[in-house]
């Protein structure tokens, strides 16, 4: 059968920019998937998605006008139900065959055409038929309806469409935006499918202002993007349009000079790509006096409110130039440039006003206001929360660095949330913490405290940087621990994919700080410092919360490339100091590479089972009670090797500590070959169990080696 490429386009009013990329990919993906499922497109068909502010389209290669017929075998019913005692068709069988369109005028012939085959415990009747392949019109109609139904539409709107019939009237249509035309081209042939009250044709609309012709006629499915670009002044491909914007941004920045670069922001780039059909980057500027405002404020207002690309110089400082991605290309761009400069000026003036007004009050003077802001109905106000974070930070600081660190951490924690009450953060919540750092420096506070206020939300996301100094580290730990302990304490625990308080992210942030900064405090110790500050507001949560932490840590370690077996072995000991976990994992990995590893892991597992059955066992050995040569040999080897292993463990050389134990393989094997652990004499039994207990403790300092046994 000959094939042609297929093009489907839905032309609509401006689509939601933040959803456009997903809408385009989903539309093309589901459409092609449905065509393949019906045999109209091959499994290896090339699918190209197009998405612009006013259109969703898909191009699919190798589409058939008619799908091939397929042989179909259907199970009817058990033989005992379908045939009577004489082998004739029962009324139930004839009714079933008739429903399937089979000829039952001659029941004997109809029965003879059936197949009998075992189906589980009984024999069943099967009917062979041919399913005629779907026509392209019918198959595309189904595929189009499915593609529209499965679009990830953020919000559906309802609009009225005039009916196309003899009786005038209006019908209601539900879709993301009003649709105005539909194209369905199989090669150069129109496929007359319908959707959203529209019948497919071969014409669309180009750029709202710059199209050469209207409507734009498409002669062939393969000429879609070329004709649309030439006659409609539209770059239909999202990826091509995005690449063109990047190219123009870089070229415009190079013209400005001074090593300037546009701000990097993939989300902004995607959104702007979804706002224009034919990008034209223009260079604008604002008054240099606004550069006295913290650059984070200016950058945010330009990006969030105006979708501009600020220019950063070679040293990373904001310049007074910015780039605009326009949707029109006039011969004289001065009016467009001037308009954008006039629009941004009030935004920057607002930012400057907020900054100047906020600095008239100190952060300390805002502390009392926190008691008027509700944090959680079960956990009190932001003022109460601040007091808890202060207490936790002071306790952690005292443990980590003594009185000075405790004092600085308490001061930073006291002021960390006060910028929530400033005008700037009220307008731009994304700047919380950042503005606190600026205002702290203006108030004359030390750089350590100012940086801690700025950094106490870090890490905000995966890959984010950690706090820069120890004061910030302590306050960030205190802030996240207060959230975790409090929320677990009132039962707000993440379930499934729901985590409204971002507790998983907070836990991973704590883990990263403890691991990467190698904090000397253990996780249980930190939780013990945090829980008492809540008083009777919470119930005990330490066990559940510790398990929550270890689950997050285990998942993170597996993502870093450690095997599930290695992670399981280390995490089985529930390590307190998380900064040592990577060293333990490296030691386990090196140990598993030794030839003695499998035998020792198996022996360790066997020892664990013996001790578990024995109950409480004292790790004590009386040499006088050692009778067998094998147990004497194991004891002698342990006397020599265990002190060496323990010394290396205390020195932090976990790899060498484990490798030292490899020499125990032979005496351990001999012990289990020749010695009956559970001897009838109680003193011999307890002594041998004590010997194994001593060995078990030594072998499992770094990790539970039994978890390595296969």
The pLDDT tens digits of the residues spanning 642-669 come to 999 999 999 999 999 999 999 999 999 9
Show the 3-state SS of 606-675.
HHHHHHHHHCCCCCCCCHHHCCCHHHHHHHHHHHHHHHHHHHHHHCCCHHHHHHHHHHHHHHHHHHHHHC
pLDDT of amino acid 549: 94
What are 380's strand-pairing partners?
376
Residue carrying structure tokens 């006629």: 217
Q: What is the mean pLDDT of residues 592-608?
A: 90
pLDDT of amino acid 479: 97
DSSP H helices, 5-45, are: 20-37
CA distances from 479 to 100, 215, 457, 460, 503 (A): 68, 60, 8, 12, 12
Give the pLDDT confidence of 581-598 residue by residue, as tens digits.
Answer: 999 999 999 999 999 998
Neighbour-count burial for 544-559, b at 16+ CB within 10 Å, e otherwise: ebeebbbebbbebbee
Torsion of CA 386, 391, 395, 398, to 10 degrees: 80
| 3 state SS of 484 | helix
pTM above 0.85, yes or no: no
Residue carrying structure tokens 């953020």: 154
pLDDT of amino acid 162: 67
Give the pLDDT confidence of 520-541 residue by residue, as tens digits.
Answer: 999 999 999 999 999 888 877 6
Looking at the predicted structure, is the pLDDT value of residue 163 above 80? no
Exposed, middle or buried: residue 137 (CB in 10 Å: 0-12, 13-18, 19+)? middle
As a CATH number, domain 367-546 is: 1.10.3210
Domain residue ranges in the chain: 3-67+135-232, 71-131, 238-358, 367-546, 581-708
Looking at the predicted structure, is the pLDDT value of residue 118 above 90? no
How many whole angstroms separate alpha carbon 228 and alpha carbon 234? 6
Structure tokens that stand for 71 in this block: 């042989």
Structure tokens that stand for 591 in this block: 């140990």
Looking at the predicted structure, is the pLDDT value of residue 260 above 90? yes
Query: 233 near 212, Cβ under 8 Å?
Result: yes
Neighbour-count burial for 454-490, b at 16+ CB within 10 Å, e otherwise: bbbbbbeeeeeeebebbbbbbbbbbbbbbbbbbbbbb
Q: What is the mean pLDDT of residues 257-267?
A: 94
Give the rounded percent of residues in the chain with a pLDDT score beyond 70: 98
Average of per-residue pLDDT values in the chain? 92
pLDDT of amino acid 169: 61
pLDDT of amino acid 130: 74
pLDDT of amino acid 541: 66
Looking at the predicted structure, is the pLDDT value of residue 198 above 70? yes
Looking at the predicted structure, is the pLDDT value of residue 265 above 90? yes
- pLDDT confidence of 85, banded at 50, 70, 90? confident
| 3 state SS of 559 | helix
How many whole angstroms separate alpha carbon 464 and alpha carbon 512? 10
Give the rounded percent of residues in the chain with a pLDDT score beyond 90: 71
What are 116's strand-pairing partners?
125
Looking at the predicted structure, is the pLDDT value of residue 159 above 90? no
How many whole angstroms separate alpha carbon 163 and alpha carbon 160? 9
Q: In the 8-state DSSP scheme, what is residue 707?
A: G
Looking at the predicted structure, is the pLDDT value of residue 164 above 60? no
As a CATH number, domain 581-708 is: 1.10.730
- pLDDT confidence of 18, banded at 50, 70, 90? very high
Give the helix/strand (H/E) hosting 333.
Answer: none
pLDDT of amino acid 115: 86
Task: Identify the CA nearest to 245 among candidates 309, 320, 335.
Answer: 309
pLDDT of amino acid 581: 93
Q: Is the peptide bond before 459 cis (omega within 30 degrees of 0)?
A: yes
Q: What is the mean pLDDT of residues 448-454?
A: 97
Q: What is the mean pLDDT of residues 88-108?
A: 83
pLDDT of amino acid 408: 96
Looking at the predicted structure, is the pLDDT value of residue 167 above 60? no
Give the pLDDT confidence of 322-340 residue by residue, as tens digits.
Answer: 999 999 999 999 999 999 9
How many whole angstroms separate alpha carbon 487 and alpha carbon 506? 11
- pLDDT confidence of 105, banded at 50, 70, 90? confident
| 3 state SS of 391 | helix
Of residues 330 and 69, which shows the higher confidence score? 330
Of residues 543 and 243, which shows the higher confidence score? 243
Q: What is the mean pLDDT of residues 72-97?
A: 84
């Amino acid at each position: 059968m000959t094939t042609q490429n297929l093009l489907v386009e839905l032309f609509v009013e401006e689509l939601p920019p933040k959803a456009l990329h997903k809408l385009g990919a989903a539309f093309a993906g589901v459409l092609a998937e449905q065509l393949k499922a019906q045999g109209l497109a091959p499994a290896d068909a090339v699918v190209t998605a197009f998405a612009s502010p006013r259109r969703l389209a898909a191009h699919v290669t190798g589409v058939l006008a008619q799908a091939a017929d397929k042989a179909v075998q259907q199970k009817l019913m058990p033989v005992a139900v379908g045939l009577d005692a004489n082998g004739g068709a029962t009324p139930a069988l004839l009714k079933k065959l008739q429903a399937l369109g089979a000829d039952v005028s001659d029941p004997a012939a109809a029965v003879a055409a059936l197949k009998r085959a075992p189906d589980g415990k009984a024999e069943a009747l099967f009917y062979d038929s041919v399913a005629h392949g779907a026509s392209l019109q019918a198959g595309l109609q189904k595929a189009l309806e499915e593609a529209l139904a499965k679009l990830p539409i953020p919000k559906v709107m309802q609009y009225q469409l005039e009916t196309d019939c003899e009786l005038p009237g209006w019908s209601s249509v539900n879709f993301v935006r009003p649709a105005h035309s539909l194209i369905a081209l199989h090669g150069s042939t129109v496929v007359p499918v319908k959707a959203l009250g529209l019948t497919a044709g071969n014409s669309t609309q180009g750029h709202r202002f710059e199209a050469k012709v209207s409507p734009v006629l498409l002669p062939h499915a393969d000429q879609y993007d070329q004709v649309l670009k030439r006659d409609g002044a539209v770059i239909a491909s999202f990826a091509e349009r995005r690449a063109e914007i990047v190219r123009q941004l870089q070229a415009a920045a190079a013209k400005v000079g001074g090593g300037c670069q546009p701000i990097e922001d993939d989300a902004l780039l995607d959104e702007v790509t979804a706002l224009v059909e034919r990008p034209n980057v223009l260079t604008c500027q604002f008054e240099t006096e606004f550069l006295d405002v913290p650059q984070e404020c200016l950058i945010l207002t330009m990006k969030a409110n105006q979708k501009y690309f600020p220019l950063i110089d070679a040293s990373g400082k904001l310049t007074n130039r910015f780039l605009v991605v326009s949707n029109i290309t006039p011969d004289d761009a001065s009016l467009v440039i001037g308009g954008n400069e006039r629009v941004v000026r009030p935004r920057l003036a607002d930012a400057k006003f907020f900054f100047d007004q906020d600095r008239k009050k100190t952060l300390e003077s805002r502390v009392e206001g926190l008691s008027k802001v509700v944090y959680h109905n079960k956990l009190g106000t932001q003022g109460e929360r601040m007091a808890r974070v202060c207490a936790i930070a002071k306790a952690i600081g005292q443990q980590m660095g003594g009185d000075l660190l405790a004092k600085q951490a308490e001061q930073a924690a006291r002021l960390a949330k006060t910028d929530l009450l400033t005008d700037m953060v009220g307008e731009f919540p994304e700047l919380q913490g950042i503005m606190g750092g600026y205002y702290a420096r203006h108030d004359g506070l030390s750089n350590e405290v100012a940086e801690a206020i700025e950094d106490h939300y870090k890490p905000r996301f995966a890959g984010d940087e950690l706090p820069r100094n120890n004061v910030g580290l302590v306050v960030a730990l205190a802030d996240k621990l207060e959230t975790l302990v409090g929320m677990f304490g009132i039962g707000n625990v993440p379930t499934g994919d729901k985590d409204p308080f971002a507790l998983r992210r907070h836990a991973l942030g704590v883990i990263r700080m403890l691991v990467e900064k190698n904090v000397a405090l253990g996780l249980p110790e930190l939780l013990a410092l945090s829980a008492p500050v809540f008083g009777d507001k919470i119930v005990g949560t330490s066990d559940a919360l510790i398990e929550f932490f270890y689950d997050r840590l285990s998942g993170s370690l597996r993502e870093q490339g450690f095997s599930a077996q290695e992670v399981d072995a280390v995490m089985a000991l529930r390590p307190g100091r998380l900064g040592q976990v990577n060293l333990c994992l490296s030691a386990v990995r090196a140990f598993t590479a030794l030839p003695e590893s499998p035998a020792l892991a198996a022996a360790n597992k066997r020892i664990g089972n013996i001790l578990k059955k024995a109950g409480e066992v004292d790790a004590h050995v009386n040499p006088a009670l050692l009778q067998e040569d094998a147990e004497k040999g194991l004891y002698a080897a342990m006397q020599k090797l265990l002190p060496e292993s323990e010394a290396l463990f205390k020195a932090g050389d976990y790899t060498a500590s484990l490798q030292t134990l490899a020499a125990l393989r032979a005496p351990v094997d001999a012990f289990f070959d020749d010695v009956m652990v559970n001897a009838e004499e109680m003193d011999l039994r307890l002594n041998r169990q004590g010997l194994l207990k001593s060995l078990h403790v030594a072998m499992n300092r770094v990790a539970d080696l039994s978890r390595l046994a296969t």
